[in-house]
A and B are shown apart, each in its own frame.
Chain A
Amino acid sequence: MNAAILPGATAGDRDFLLAVEALTVSFDGFKAVNDVSFYVDPDEIRVIIGPNGAGKTTVLDLICGRTRATSGSIKYKGTELTKLSESAIVQAGVGRKFQTPSIYDDLTVFENLEISFPRGRSVLGALMFKRDAEVRDRIHEIAEMIFLKDQLDRRAEFLSHGQKQWLEIGMLLIQDPELLMLDEPVAGMSVAERKKTAELLHQIIKGRSVLVIEHDMKFVEDIAHRVTVLHQGKVLSEGSMERVKTDPKVVEVYLGH
């Protein structure tokens, strides 16, 4: 299956879904991300690993527009993302899950999902938004997937940590992004929750590209098509998990200790 390429795409972009090139960001002279380039194919599952402070989360921040790049380019389906607003990036089809569960405590699970439903995103649209059968069915469908079918009327505040993570994943799913970015989706989960999450992730990564940051190596091996290793803001190594695992540079800084 090939994702359609936008008309504006040049030959140089080939059919990458995401092309990050020479991406650099510096905070007061400290280069948190330094000349990073990598390419993600349609339907690829890419995992970014690296020690703490390697710049993994910053790369995701840069892609989704939370942090602005000092230099370099991020092309998504041929569109330059570095100049777009956060909401425009989301509307282009990029979804992002944060490291700590980021959900709306004061709203119910249903309302949390409803807000993420990709319709009525303008002020007027939100005022006129109708909770019709389409919305309801979709929310029930997603709730079933994320194991929260019985919790729809519950205030999100009262969910367990794992349930909150699932809810946020559900909120992304309902957006139906073509590129899904997950920041440590299984961190802080119990063993049982972890297993269920892996199951969930396997299910949702079908038909889209996924960029995951994860420390759990077993989990990474399980899902990754390719792995990019970041170290001190630079790409240290890239390739299949097998290749990366045996790369002496990687062994030295990351896996060896």
Chain B
Amino acid sequence: MSVPTSMRQPLSLRLSSAAFLGFWCLLAAFPIFWIAVMSFKDPVDAFAANPLAVIFGPETVATGRGLSVLDILVGIAVLWGTIHLAMNRLPELVTRLTPPELLPFGWIVGALAYGIGFLIVFFGILPPVLGGLNGILGPFGAPIIGLTSEHYQAVWVENAFYENFINSLIVTAGVVTVSLTVGTLAGFGLARSGSGLAFWILIIALVFRALPHSVLVAGYLPPFINSAEILRPILGEAAPTLYGKPLAVIAVLVSINQPFTIWMLRSFFQNIPNELDEAARVDGCTHFQAFRWVIMPVMWPGVITTGLFSFLLAYNDYLVCSLLLDAQNQTMVPAIAGYFNRETTTTDQVEAVAAAVSITAPLFLLVMIFQRQIVSGLTAGAVKG
């Protein structure tokens, strides 16, 4: 594409614009990159005042924990090989082994199997093999960059962070599934109905979206704590105490998320031409049949995008989970508060950093895979106004 001379920019402008972008990218990525680096270091290194000490970790190296030249070379080679295989062989294998109608599931299974295989090779097989080789090689086997995974071990194994992880998984999976099921139906209904009622529902949903969550939780707490007594006349002895139950939190988060979900899905369904389901209705389908057989096959891009945002809401939630769940079945984000509130020693602090990085890692992967969907989701609401 040729740019007209008049639109061309002077060098100074281009340079300053590039410098600004570079600065922004540094600003955006640095804190996240930095906590990732800190989490692998000895506490003395992690909170050192000199940035080079944090990166190379002299204290960590001094205690003999670190990566040697060999480790780094082999590690990079394995990483490169993994990415290469994922780009070239994996798509081919997936398409060959799965029947075409199950392709999405084939992809999920393939990606999971590949990821687990990578984890086993990279963290299971490589360290002992390289440890043996390092002993033989002498100077090439001596550690040069400090690196220790002991904080992750402390967090995940000793402090049983996996329990919080499982709770997070339950809550997030529940919220995404339920809120998409309920939300797609409502979004479709709202998109196809031009009635005044639909408009008022959307307006009220907009008001609900703006409510601070603490206001709602103030309403949930007393009935949830006393729910066993309140529900006893209806359910008998089986009446549950809703406080502390992940299921109750799922219901709450789904509802809090509903206004946003139906607004977003409605705008996606409005982009699907009306003629599509009308044609099906002319052929004798009911609204539900039209939805099932005509709309469902084409709605996935919008649903995936909305699902991503439901996932983020549930995964990132602090307020609702910390107030409605008790300490035994806490999700990851509120659980981390326990770490940095008791951070008495620097080791505790680095363990909190490791826990924080563990929480961030899945989100990082999410952006990598779904960047396009996230961007389209962000703009979908805005462009409609």
Do A and B bind? no
Residue positions of A touching B, CB distance < 8 A: none
